Amino acid sequence: MRFFTYILILFLQISVVFGSNENSVHSLDKRVVQSSHPKITFNKVNLETEAKNYLVSSLENLKSIHNDIELISNIRSPYATHLTYLQTYNGIPVYRSQIKINIRKNGEVLSLFDNSYSFTDRNQIPTISSLNSFKSSTNNVAESFISENYSNITEQEIEKIIVFDDQNIPKPAFKIKVYDEISGNYDESIIDIDGEIIYQRDLRMRSASADSLVSGMVFLPDPLTTAGVEYGSPYEDYSDGYVSVLNDEMVSVTFTASFSGGTYSLVSDNIKITDIRAPYISPVTENSPSFNYTRDENGFEDVNAFYHLNTFHHYITDSVDGLGFTNLLNEQVHVDPHGDNGDVSYYYPQTPKKITFGIGGVDDAEDADVLIHEFGHAISDAAAPGGNSGNERSALDEGLCDYLAVSYSRSINAYKWENMFSWDGHNPYFDGRTAATTKTYPSGMKTNDIHASGEIWSSTLMEIWEVLGRKTTDKLLIQAMYSYVANVSFPKAAKLMLQADTLINGGVNIDVLYQKFVARGILSWPNGINSEFKIQNSKFIITNSEQFALGGELIIRSEIPQNIQIGLYDVQGRLIETQTHTNFTNCLISGASLQKGVYF
């Protein structure tokens, strides 16, 4: 099926800077990735080589001497291949310079996102001799920085890079990652060759085979939702104590766990319940296939986390009764249900991937919303490795994780589904968030609160969910996530969902997606057409669109002779066909050779 809309407008790309206190946000986090949709098809046999050759020869920032790119990830989704490259200058990686190209299975380029930098100002570029000296120098400056600023170091990583500072001047620098297991901090610091800090960020993202069938008690998805009540006596946490009305909301479930040497453990191919950091509570094990605990016992959070995370992973990856992303996050995530004394949970993009859940206020691992939100960060990181940087891109990640959590919980029980963190939040400990905000883009964005900004994205997706349903909306989102890259904005992410629908469904849901994204201000309708296919404020009429959808010819007529140019574009804005007419009265556009999709 082909859908056609005729437009006579000039598209302008506008970058919007939003929010307050802009000076507190580093220029690295304000960048908006440049996107394009080149009409080119690669040889599938030599995809990586052809893609690299094309990028080096076509991107202006890579044409100057000493520039190159290196492949950092090759991810295959069910519908496309997603190659991510990093720019290098004189063999040194350029910080936050990801270039991502998304390619259909037949080799056709779907989209290109470019974060590369220009090295054309010779007055500012470090000399090659100085860069060669930097490459051969020691890491003493970085080692001194670590020893002066950190006392408990579990893991550390030092890399020599080039970074563009807040004045957009390239400098040789050290990228330092330090993980402190005691405090839970996982920091990235960029320092110059004198040890001065250029940029820092928190890398955490917050708010063995399973071979035996066992049983356990869980919340589905949380006690307030199943009880149909709001937080308040007697439905309160009571310092994680024994509360009979809360225990009454527990449900017995069966799931697979690991069995070895006569001991059952909460370990599967994808989830391992483990003890990562304070308060250092060892995971429960059993000698029989029964993990039945009341919610005041530490074992309850272990079971609740293990069950929900495995269930959600199965839903994402299973090709029979799930979404079919069989290769997504095929690794074991280490999970600590009691991994922080505060009311905060974190995802750590390390190897192995780690998630810790806080026990302050309501224990985070008792709420499926918190569990799935943090696991959503792991899914996003697996689909687009290293792509979560930039203020708006980070807000997007928070929003999509909120959406995945609400979508999951609502599929179990729809009571007050809009309350994100139904049990962990909306109480005296934490305000929680909503997946039904009325805020719009970009006015509702808050530069210094990526979680509040993310509500716009999650709420828009839930409106789409209302029309298309859970599986369709979830699948469109996750397929789009494979194409994410650093500095992706909400509008670009919305267009990637349109592209995902074209890949998966032939574009049948484009109208619904457009309606919801336009209503939020994320996208704009193509101007100049009404429901009767008459071009507003002109004399143009379009007919025969039904036959065009079946491969026939679209008829465009003018009530008076006019000099015009007609362009046919696909959903990503690539020019497919153009016609120029003098004294135009009518013409035909054939759909016979077009692929299924949406055209403008």
Polymer length in residues for the chain? 600
Among 63, 38, 66, residue whose Cα is nearest residue 51: 38
Residues 6+ apart with CB under 8 A from 515: none
Amino acid at 578: T
The structural domains of the chain, ordered by start, are: 1-30+528-600 (no CATH), 31-114 (3.10.450), 128-203 (3.10.450.40), 212-519 (3.10.170.10)
b or e along 75-94 (b: 16 or more beta carbons within 10 Å of the residue's beta carbon)?
Answer: bebbbbbbbbbbbbbbebbb
pLDDT digits (tens, 9 = 90+) for 12-53: 222 222 233 444 688 999 999 999 999 999 998 899 999 999
Per-residue model confidence (pLDDT) at position 207: 62
Per DSSP (E only), the strands in 55-149 are 67-76, 80-89, 92-104, 109-114
Measured between alpha carbons, how far is 169 from 556 in angstroms, rounded to an integer?
52
Q: Which 3 state secondary structure label does DSSP give 53?
A: helix
User: Would you state the structure tokens that stand for residue 163, as one six-digit string?
Assistant: 């970074």
- Which parts of the chain register pLDDT below 50? 1-23, 208-210, 527-533, 536
Stated as kind and residue range, the H or E segment containing 378 is helix 368-383
